[in-house]
Amino acid sequence: MKERKPALFIIAPVVLFFDQLSKFIVISNLSLNQSIPLIKGIFHLTLVYNRGAAFGILKNQLPLFIFTSLTAIILIYLNYKKNKEKESFCYNLSLGLILAGALGNLIDRIFLGYVIDFLDFRIWPVFNIADSAITVGAFLLAYSMLKTKQKAARP
């Protein structure tokens, strides 16, 4: 029987590809701070360079962000190696999303010195696909861990 590839090794490269492609398209078509309404007043494409973390906090702390991203990537890899046979699809999917997001923003930080953000809902700070992958991955990880804990608690 053919071995199935874990979600981590499928989702991470796909999400990373779309993150980097979308950033390339946006920087090729918009100038800094230019905004194009897709749904006027609700959803715009707005090119910003984020030199901070989430919501722009801790601006200009590039070495800290690179170190944090590399640490997260290493921890994901080590956790996967340790638990690859035991964990669920949801757990591996969550790790793949977080890994892709961490790599996507790390690539920006290493090569540009900032992260390219462009998804603008006007009521939330501008973000990108990598940020979305990290957020969704974190929620899935929490859900997966809660389910595992519930299973372990059953008699």
- Answer yes or no: pTM beyond 0.85: yes
Catalytic residues: 117, 131
| DSSP summary character for residue 148 | H
pLDDT in tens, the chain (155 residues): 344 567 788 899 999 999 999 999 999 999 999 999 999 999 999 999 999 877 667 777 888 999 999 999 999 988 887 776 666 888 889 999 999 999 999 999 999 999 999 999 999 999 999 999 999 999 999 998 888 777 766 66
Q: Establish if 154 belongs to a structural domain.
A: no
Which pLDDT tens digit goes with each residue over 90-109? Answer: 888 999 999 999 999 999 99
Tell me what the pLDDT averaged over the chain comes to. 88
| Region class of 96: left (phi > 0), else alpha (psi between -120 and 50), else beta | alpha
Q: Establish if 75 belongs to a structural domain.
A: yes
Query: How many structural domains comprise the chain?
Result: 1
Burial of 137 (0-12, 13-18, 19+ CB in 10 A): buried
Q: How far apart are CA 121 and CA 2, in angstroms?
A: 44
Q: Establish if 14 belongs to a structural domain.
A: yes
Q: Are 29 and 118 in contact (CB under 8 A)?
A: no
Q: Establish if 128 belongs to a structural domain.
A: yes
Secondary structure class of 62 (helix, strand, coil): helix
Q: Establish if 84 belongs to a structural domain.
A: yes
Q: Establish if 50 belongs to a structural domain.
A: yes
Q: Which residue range(s) make up the domain with 128?
A: 7-20+45-148
Q: Establish if 68 belongs to a structural domain.
A: yes
Q: Which two tokens stand for residue 74?
A: 């290493």
Closest among 145, 14, 142, 144 to 90, alpha carbons compared: 144
Q: Establish if 104 belongs to a structural domain.
A: yes
